[in-house]
A and B are shown apart, each in its own frame.
Chain A
């Protein structure tokens, strides 16, 4: 009974393709997030979303878009993939801005 799950765990694709990463949480939390971890292990918030607001980090290219079909899911869509998009992407969730619970990560490799 994984709390925050992501699929796929690994994603290898070519430049220019469009891909999606799925995230689901079964904790009943009200807020979900996407983070990017680069090759130096630096973690940076990309998006945060609850039923009231979407907060987008201004440094995130508009090729990235979050989509939430319901409160338990926040998927990440990426258009026109570039080499620099290669990273590990983590989904997380929280309740009332307290501690965040992270998924296992999706390692994206763009060739």
Chain B
């Protein structure tokens, strides 16, 4: 079984400032890692994913994340945020080559961009 911990339920940031959203996971097997974004009253959109290879992954909208196996972390970063980045961000893990397994999600971090 896997678990995901998003350490911050809410992160307020000023516009054009950098941001880091933290994610730690626990698993006894190899996993794939994902970050999804949910804008108000919408579905989930994939921001980026780590399957294998380079530990620094780049996603859409200027976001990037770094996989750290020793610290079991997958923190999400953006160097300069915009008002439009205000949303709920979810970290998720899935069993690598897991067949029909679903994803295990963290509780989400609400990113609030202040003008």
Which residues of A pack against B, CB within 8 Å?
4, 31, 33, 35, 40-45, 47-50, 52-55, 57, 90, 92, 96-105
Contacts and interface: CB of A to CB of B under 8 A. Distances in A.
B44 A90 contact: yes
B43 interface: yes
Given A102-B43, A103-B43, A104-B43, A43 B101 contact: no
Nearest to A97: B98
B32 interface: yes
B102 to A, nearest CB: 3
B97 interface: yes
Interface string B28-68: 00001010101000111110010100000000000000000
B43 A55 contact: no
Interface residues of B, number: 27
B107 interface: yes
A47 B88 CA distance: 23
Interface string B75-115: 00000000000001010001111111111110110000000
A98 to B, nearest CB: 7
Given A40-B107, A42-B105, A42-B108, A55 B42 contact: no
B109 to A, nearest CB: 10
A97 B88 contact: no
B95 A97 contact: yes
Interface of B: 32, 34, 36, 38, 42-46, 49, 51, 88, 90, 94-105, 107-108
B46 A99 contact: yes
A50 B102 contact: no
A41 B102 contact: no
Nearest to B110: A41
A100 B43 CA distance: 12
Contacts of B88: 41
A97 B46 contact: no
A33 B51 contact: no
B94 A97 contact: yes
Given A97-B96, A97-B97, A98-B51, A45 B104 contact: yes
B108 A45 contact: no
